[in-house]
């Protein structure tokens, strides 16, 4: 960690003292462990054979941690005060014993289907921020991603239990907790990622989205979602056609007319006639003059036409509207003899919108069963923010860039320190055997997010055998009693 990053951490009050308060008085360990036990007793293999990793002070990283039950887990939390918690798979044996086991004896057997969407993967198409920085303008991308992904997971694959988590800094995670999802093999997980992914290639690729008609139903739904906010997001928030550099980035997505030119030229014997035929399709009114040797000027004629068109306009909104009108005119003017040219423009507007707004996934996080992912209610060590659940019904109102929208470690500690002292677990995780131990999160700004989590945990306990238990436990979970 650099000195600058250390200073940033200090400013967010991610200190051992605050972490100790958080894990003793606030962290919802009972609901958390119930979630990972999936309706079974806390001593079951679902929990006891689950891998955890803790990132401790000075970047000490401890993997293959496992705990026999809820109390052991909480005791270790209070003892070690991790700056970050990651969750791994359920293994064939207890992860803490992995050094004594062979590869044939120790392997992942179950894992939530997880997705990681990071804002840095959009750096080539967002202009307000870069790297780890985010703002309200580019947060729209995460809203697009969650809405699109949630519908794909539900409507294409039938998954019911989808937990969305704000990472605490620059992205979101999705935990699909259905039993069928948890039991998927890596090859199926990879196939799901491939089904969802349409933005391909690296950031230096000229064009990363290619669509075909008719659009798959999931892409039609994605298009509808993006259309609701695209003009406001791209034109106003990002000003994506606001200067020459952004215009050139945009024009990389427009088909290169010299390819179309040679396709037609090869089919015709008369050079000048074929060139003028192309010109009339590309820019009516222009003629090719062989005596002026302007053959090379035809290479990027379409893009140059757009440059000239954009230069006559002022705002991104005007340029985008003109581009759509121009493209529609191109499509409508194409004859049946040039169907190959029409196909290049029919999906162009959608391809551009998807390139700028469609979800971009970290495939490795999803397909690898042994991959770790940051835990809900973990603290982000560089921001001090808590990783919190997001309810998609209120997604339009959630913006982590707005002050007070995401609880921070130091703020939570201040809130509980002002409360009357109660009978809490001791520093080693123990407490008086006869007393009811109760945490204080209900009296902090974290309460609404724990309520979301508690209801999700209740709903995800779907087996008939545990349905009654899950329902009866809800009030206990919400009260903070263990």
Active-site position among 74, 83, 86, 118: 118
- Give the list of residues 6+ apart from residue 371 with CB closer than 8 angstroms, or none: 88, 114, 364, 365
Q: What is the DSSP letter of 216?
A: P
Looking at residue 207, its pLDDT comes to 86
Q: What does pLDDT average to over the chain? A: 84
Beta-ladder partners of 92: none
User: In 1-97, which residue ranges form alpha helices assigned H by DSSP?
Assistant: 3-11, 16-25, 29-37, 45-48, 70-80
Catalytic-role residue among 110, 116, 121, 351: 116
Catalytic-residue membership of 204: no
Segment 116-132, tens digit of pLDDT: 999 999 999 999 999 99
Question: Residue 367: is it exposed, middle or buried by C-beta count within 10 angstroms (0-12/13-18/19+)?
Answer: buried
Assess whether 121 carries a catalytic annotation: no
Least confident of 43-47, 138-142, 221-225: 43-47
Close Cβ partners of 332 (under 8 Å, ≥ 6 residues apart): none
Q: Give the confidence band of 439 by pLDDT, cuts at 50, 70, 90.
A: confident
Strand partners, 53: 86
> Cα–Cα distances in Å, from 432 out to 75, 385, 425, 437?
14, 32, 8, 8
Confidence (pLDDT) at 336: 45
Q: Which helix (H) or strand (E) holds 55?
A: strand 50-56
Kindly report, residue by residue over 329-382, the tens digit of the pLDDT. Answer: 877 765 544 554 566 678 999 999 999 999 999 999 999 999 999 999 999 999
Q: Residue 461: what pLDDT?
A: 79
The strand ranges marked E within 332-409 are 373-374, 388-389
Please, which pLDDT band fits residue 433 given cuts at 50, 70 and 90? very low
Instruction: Determine the Cα–Cα distance for residues 382 and 83; give it in Å rounded to an integer.
Output: 10
Q: In which element (H, E) is residue 337 found? A: none
Please check whether residue 390 is in contact with residue 164, taking contact to mean a CB–CB distance below 8 angstroms. yes
CB contact burial 321-331 (16+ within 10 A = b; e otherwise): ebbeeebeebe
pLDDT at 275 over 90: no
Least confident range from 3-17, 219-233, 335-349, 385-399: namely 3-17
Assess whether 248 carries a catalytic annotation: no
Distance CA 30, CA 228 (A): 40
Mean pLDDT value of segment 10-35: 89
Q: pLDDT at position 268, please? A: 47
| Angle between helical axes of 257-267 and 271-282 (0-180°, round to 10) | 140
Mind listing the domains of the chain with CATH numbers?
3-195+361-479 (3.90.920.10), 204-256+300-357 (no CATH)
């Amino acid at each position: 960690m650099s000195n600058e990053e250390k200073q940033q951490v200090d400013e967010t009050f991610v200190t051992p003292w605050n972490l100790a308060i958080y894990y003793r008085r606030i962290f919802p360990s009972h609901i958390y462990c119930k979630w990972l036990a999936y309706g079974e007793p806390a001593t079951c293999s679902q929990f006891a054979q689950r891998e955890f990793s803790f990132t401790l002070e000075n970047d000490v990283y401890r993997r293959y941690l496992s705990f026999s039950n809820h109390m052991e887990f909480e005791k270790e939390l209070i003892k070690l005060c991790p700056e970050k918690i990651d969750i791994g798979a359920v293994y064939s044996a207890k992860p803490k014993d992995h050094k004594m086991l062979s590869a044939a004896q120790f392997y992942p057997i179950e894992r939530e289907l997880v997705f990681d969407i990071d804002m840095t993967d959009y750096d080539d198409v967002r202009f307000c921020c870069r790297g780890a920085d985010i703002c309200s303008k580019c947060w729209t991308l995460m809203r697009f991603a969650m809405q699109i992904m949630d519908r794909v997971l539900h409507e294409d694959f039938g998954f019911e239990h989808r937990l969305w988590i704000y990472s605490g800094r620059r992205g979101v995670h999705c935990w699909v907790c259905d039993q069928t999802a948890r039991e998927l093999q890596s090859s199926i997980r990879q196939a799901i990622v491939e089904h969802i992914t349409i933005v391909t290639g690296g950031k230096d690729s000229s064009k990363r989205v290619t669509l075909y008609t008719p659009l798959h139903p999931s892409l039609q739904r994605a298009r509808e979602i993006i259309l609701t906010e695209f003009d406001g997001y791209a034109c106003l928030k990002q000003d994506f056609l606001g200067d020459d550099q952004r215009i050139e980035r945009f024009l990389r997505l427009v088909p290169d007319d010299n390819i179309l030119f040679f396709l037609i030229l090869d089919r015709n014997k008369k050079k000048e006639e074929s060139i003028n035929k192309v010109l009339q399709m590309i820019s009516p009114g222009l003629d090719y003059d062989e005596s002026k040797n302007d053959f090379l000027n035809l290479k990027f004629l379409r893009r140059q036409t757009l440059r000239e068109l954009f230069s006559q306009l002022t705002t991104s909104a005007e340029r985008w509207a003109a581009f759509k009108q121009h493209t529609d005119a191109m499509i409508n003017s194409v004859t049946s003899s040039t169907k190959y040219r029409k196909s290049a423009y029919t999906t162009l507007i959608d391809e551009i919108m998807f390139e700028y707004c469609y979800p971009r996934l970290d495939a490795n996080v999803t397909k690898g069963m042994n991959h770790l992912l940051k835990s809900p209610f973990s603290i982000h060590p560089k921001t001090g923010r808590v990783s919190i659940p997001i309810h998609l019904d209120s997604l339009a109102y959630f913006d982590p860039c707005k002050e007070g929208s995401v609880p921070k470690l130091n703020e939570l500690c201040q809130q509980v320190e002002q409360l009357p002292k109660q009978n809490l677990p001791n520093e080693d995780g123990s407490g008086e055997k006869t007393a009811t131990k109760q945490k204080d999160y209900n009296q902090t700004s974290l309460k609404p997010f724990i309520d979301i989590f508690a209801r999700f945990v209740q709903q995800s306990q779907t087996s008939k055998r545990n349905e009654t238990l899950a329902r009866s436990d809800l009030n206990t979970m919400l009260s903070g009693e263990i």
